[in-house]
Amino acid sequence: MLSIDWRASAAYGHAQSIPAAGFAWEYLRRHEDYHRDFQTISRMRDPAVSRLEIFSQRWGLRFPVRSRNAT
């Protein structure tokens, strides 16, 4: 886990200048449930669209362009 003292305001000074997406990532990368859900879905060979939609809705994720397969 991270070694930042979450109680020290100096540790979050950069948060005032990051865009909303960056702030959201700072939250998600610390969230154990997100990590668990991401690991679950990333291990699936071909997850159902409905499963991906549930994941993205739960975590407020938006993917404006479908990614290409890296084959």
pTM of the model: 0.62
pLDDT at 58 over 80: yes
What one-character-per-residue DSSP string does 5-48 give?
A: -TT-GGGGGGGGTS-HHHHHHHHHTT-HHHHHHHHHHHT-SS--
Is residue 16 very low, low, confident or very high in pLDDT (cuts 50, 70, 90)? confident
Is residue 68 very low, low, confident or very high in pLDDT (cuts 50, 70, 90)? low
Report the alpha-carbon distance of residue 66 to residue 51 in Å, rounded.
15
pLDDT in tens, 42-56: 999 999 999 999 999
